[in-house]
Copies of this chain bind each other. A is one copy, B any other.
Amino acid sequence: MFESLIQKQVIKNQAKMVLLVMDGLGGLAREPGGKTELESARTPNLDALASASSLGLTIPVGPGITPGSGPGHLAIFGYDPLQYEIGRGAMEALGVDFDLGPDDLAARGNFCTVDLEGNITDRRAGRLSTEISRELAELLQSIRIEEAEIFIEPVKQHRFAFVLRCPGLNDALTDSDPQTTGIPPLPIRALNPDAEKSARYVNQFICNAQEMLTGKGPANMVLLRGFARLPVMPSFKEKYALNAAAIALNGMYRGVARMVGMDVLTVHGNTIQDEFAALEANWCDYDFFYIHIKKTDTCGESGDFDGKVGAIEEVDALIPRILTLNPDVVVVGGDHSSPAVLRSHSWHPVPVLVFSPYVRPDGIADFGEVACLRGSLGPIPATHIMPIALANAQRISKYGA
């Protein structure tokens, strides 16, 4: 009900907003009494920005819940991640920058090895090279099933994203991957009558694929799992009346941004500096910019504490380039925590700052986990950030007389 209230109250104006997401920003100290990655980083620019901002900590999904990249981003974009679930297959397709649409049914695919009886002997076909995988994918791409188009997008080694495209598909399907060896791949079954056509088409594809792959061992069969269509959700334009652009180096984040109706901008190069250049180059054409920084999460997930500190410092040095553009609202935060000591995503609340001429500044010249705890936003659901940012952009009209 609150979500639809925001949608009803939003108005358009000239304000420009920037949402800078450092992936996996939140962290943990290496030793008792120590500092987190963000607290360890020398961040003079973020600290100065913090002193004129409202600080807080965002809870992406709920207490104790470690989010994946999909739910983490949906939350910071203001979409309830429990209401809008992005299935594994859809995430796989988004992850390789595939332009997934409303008619698409996606799944995670593996090339695998089966013996002469058709029983699986290796679910990953000896982790074949990405190059060979790419060739096989091209081969399978030629398959046509009645009116449906088929896309096979290589991911890495034995993995690929499978997409079936035609009207009337349904993702209530079982997996073909039995998650074990010694038995044949399972036939895909429809979990409700609406999914029967989808099951038939996918089984036909698997059958054709097996024929084409015969003799191509070790990769002589495919396994599919995690069938999913995109959730039906309002776009940023419908929900916030925002003309939004996304700047991200990785397909998955570009995909999630595309899913909520953002234009995905071209980044010339693959550095954080190149991302900021894309912001500058497109400044006049949009009223909302989402910038995604991957390196913080990559370092967190690989246990590289110092690398994550360095990535944060690299971003800090670029903050003046945002401020020079004179944005009306700047939000700096993360989609979830990725403490290096855990080498993974985590459930910990994520530091956030909201800067605008109309915040009540907390006067805390320090952007870090403990400092943010004293901030006026409090520990809040991540979904609250967009409404607060929009209010500060004076883009939400008064509710009731």
Contact = CB atoms under 8 A, between A and B. Distances in A.
Nearest to A375: B373
B388 A63 contact: yes
B400 A64 contact: no
Nearest to A252: B401
Interface residues of A, number: 67
A307 interface: no
A396 interface: yes
Interface stretch (A83-91, A166-174, A276-284): A83-91
Contacts of A325: none
A312 B373 CA distance: 28
A255 to B, nearest CB: 11
Contacts of A52: 32
Given A369-B360, A400-B86, A401-B86, A380 B63 contact: yes
A361 interface: yes
Interface in A48-67: 52, 57, 61-67
Given A5-B62, A64-B391, A339-B358, 15 more contacts: A1-B82, A5-B65, A32-B52, A57-B376, A63-B387, A64-B388, A64-B390, A68-B401, A71-B400, A81-B400, A86-B401, A347-B388, A347-B391, A360-B370, A376-B379
B65 A28 contact: no
Contacts of A344: 398
A342 B68 CA distance: 39
Interface string A254-286: 000000000000000000000000000000000
A308 to B, nearest CB: 15
B398 A360 contact: no
A123 interface: no
A5 B401 contact: no
Given A360-B36, A376-B349, A378-B379, A384 B64 contact: yes
A341 B369 CA distance: 31
Given A67-B398, A81-B400, A378-B378, A62 B358 contact: no
Contacts of A118: none
A388 B63 CA distance: 6
Nearest to A389: B64
The 7 closest A-B pairs by CB, nearest first: A64-B387, A64-B391, A68-B400, A91-B401, A63-B384, A71-B400, A347-B391
Interface in A344-381: 344-349, 358, 360-363, 369-370, 373-374, 376-380
Given A6-B64, A363-B33, A70 B401 contact: yes
